[in-house]
Amino acid sequence: MRAGRKEGPPVAVTIKDVAKRANVAASTVSRVIANSSKISPGTARRVREAITELDYNPNYHARSLVKNTTNTIGIVMPRSAQSTFQNPFFPEVIRGITSEIHDKDIGMYLSTGQTEDEIYNEVVKMVVESRVDGIILLYSQENDRIMPFLLEKNFPFVLIGRPSAQLDQISYVNNDNVKAGGMLTEYLLLLNHKKIGFIGGNENSMVTKDHLEGYSNALAKRAVPFREEYVVYREEIKEGGQEAAIELMSLSSPPTAIIAADDMMAFGVLRMIQDMNKKVPDDVSIVSFNNFMLSELSTPPLTTVDIHIFDLGARAAESLVDLMYSGNKDIQHTIVPHHLVKRESCTVWN
């Protein structure tokens, strides 16, 4: 279905009205708006007066039409973020983006699609109808149609995360998730844990793959065997952690420490472990990724790695603005640092 026609509200004041009022031609008005150098102070003043008196604002579409620029960027979220925009990750990224563009007169257009097709079609519309000047992709998955499309159209975009291919053609900003996963694992190892469970998010997402790689690297380095049964995947943000905890803890030799895909998962794990009448961290240690705001308010407060989500968004916006307006078409790869936030959900294993 397509929305119907709008009854035009009181016709807006146009550039001609201003011109008439100031006794000049429309083009002159246009020039003072553009701050054209060659304009006499006198007329400039007169025009400006007329503008304020009439409360004139240039029509966005007319301007976009002729300049072929929209001054807005599109944000594309994954399907799963739509169903769970609940994941604080996305709002926080958007905050970061916002911080970077709010004073640059750049607007933000949000995708609303809820299926892969809907999202793809929205992206197509954004670019081919010239709705936006550039796009920030909030996710990457293997075999996705969006990036190939954008690449083919040669349309400016930056990805938050890691592309699964064509690294050298895609601007992205990401964390070093392999390293982060490794660090967390090593931390647990140093705490003397040998049986470490790993709860991944979407099995096909790059983050998950990278975390897992870091995990297994760290294990290998300390000659701790990698055990299949310690690795489980859950996508559902709410029940995921709880279910994974059940799966892990019901093993004949359950882990003494668990790495959760993110703090939301960790909350679920925490809840479930406590429901089992076990203590965190005494009976099982928990660590996770992201450092959401609430992580420090849980019981016990969560040890987690802060990946600076806000910065992810801000840097992405920065790169994109560069790509769109600076003429600099160089591909940029930005790695946002992470750091461990030690709190009280981990302890030494006897």
Nearer to DNA, 39 or 151 (CB): 39
Which of DNA, a copy of itself, none does residue 204 bind (CB under 5 to 8 Å by kind)?
none
Q: Determine, following the binding rule CB under 7 A, whether residue 44 of this chain makes contact with DNA.
A: yes
Q: Residue 287's closest CA among 258, 247, 249, 309?
A: 258
Residue with tokens 């470490």: 196
Q: Determine, following the binding rule CB under 7 A, whether residue 54 of this chain makes contact with DNA.
A: no
Q: Determine, following the binding rule CB under 7 A, whether residue 39 of this chain makes contact with DNA.
A: yes
**Residue 62 Cβ, how far from a copy of itself at the closest point, in Å?**
6
Count residues binding DNA (CB under 7 A). Answer: 33
Nearer to DNA, 11 or 293 (CB): 11
Per-residue tokens: 172: 């992205």
Determine which residue in the list 21, 50, 51, 56 makes contact with DNA, applying CB under 7 A: 56
**Residue 309 Cβ, how far from a copy of itself at the closest point, in Å?**
10
Count of alpha carbons within 13 Å of 54, Cβ hemisphere only? Answer: 22
Nearer to a copy of itself, 91 or 340 (CB): 91
Task: Decide: residue 297, CB within 10 A, 0-12 exposed, 13-18 middle, 19+ buried.
Answer: exposed
Count of alpha carbons within 13 Å of 136, Cβ hemisphere only? Answer: 31
- Which amino acid is residue 296, in one-letter code? E
Nearer to a copy of itself, 148 or 220 (CB): 148
Determine which residue in the list 21, 24, 197, 307 makes contact with DNA, applying CB under 7 A: 24
Nearer to a copy of itself, 252 or 277 (CB): 277
Tell me if 254 sits within 8 A of 347, measured CB to CB.
no
Output Rg (C-alpha) for the chain, integer angstroms: 26
Q: Determine, following the binding rule CB under 7 A, whether residue 48 of this chain makes contact with DNA.
A: no
- Which amino acid is residue 27, in one-letter code? S
Distance between CA atoms of 227 and 223, rounded to whole angstroms?
A: 12
- Which amino acid is residue 276, in one-letter code? M
Residue 169 DSSP label: G
Q: Determine, following the binding rule CB under 7 A, whether residue 23 of this chain makes contact with DNA.
A: yes
**Residue 101 Cβ, how far from a copy of itself at the closest point, in Å?**
6
Which of DNA, a copy of itself, none does residue 43 bind (CB under 5 to 8 Å by kind)?
DNA
By three-state DSSP, how is residue 292 classified? coil
**Residue 109 Cβ, how far from DNA at the closest point, in Å?**
19
Nearer to a copy of itself, 106 or 173 (CB): 106
Distance between CA atoms of 187 and 196, rounded to whole angstroms?
A: 11
Distance between CA atoms of 221 and 154, rounded to whole angstroms?
A: 43
Nearer to a copy of itself, 40 or 326 (CB): 326
Determine which residue in the list 1, 7, 10, 38 makes contact with DNA, applying CB under 7 A: 38
Question: Within 25-108, where are the H helices?
Answer: 26-33, 41-54, 60-67, 79-83, 89-101
**Residue 237 Cβ, how far from DNA at the closest point, in Å?**
40
Which of a copy of itself, DNA, none does residue 250 bind (CB under 5 to 8 Å by kind)?
none
**Residue 291 Cβ, how far from a copy of itself at the closest point, in Å?**
12
**Residue 119 Cβ, how far from a copy of itself at the closest point, in Å?**
10
**Residue 320 Cβ, how far from DNA at the closest point, in Å?**
22
**Which residues make Cβ contacts (< 8 Å) with residue 81, sequence separation at least 6?**
87, 89, 90, 138, 139
Tell me if 191 sits within 8 A of 285, measured CB to CB.
yes
Q: Which residues bind DNA (CB under 7 A)?
A: 5, 11-12, 14-16, 23-31, 33-34, 37-40, 42-44, 56-59, 62-63, 65-67
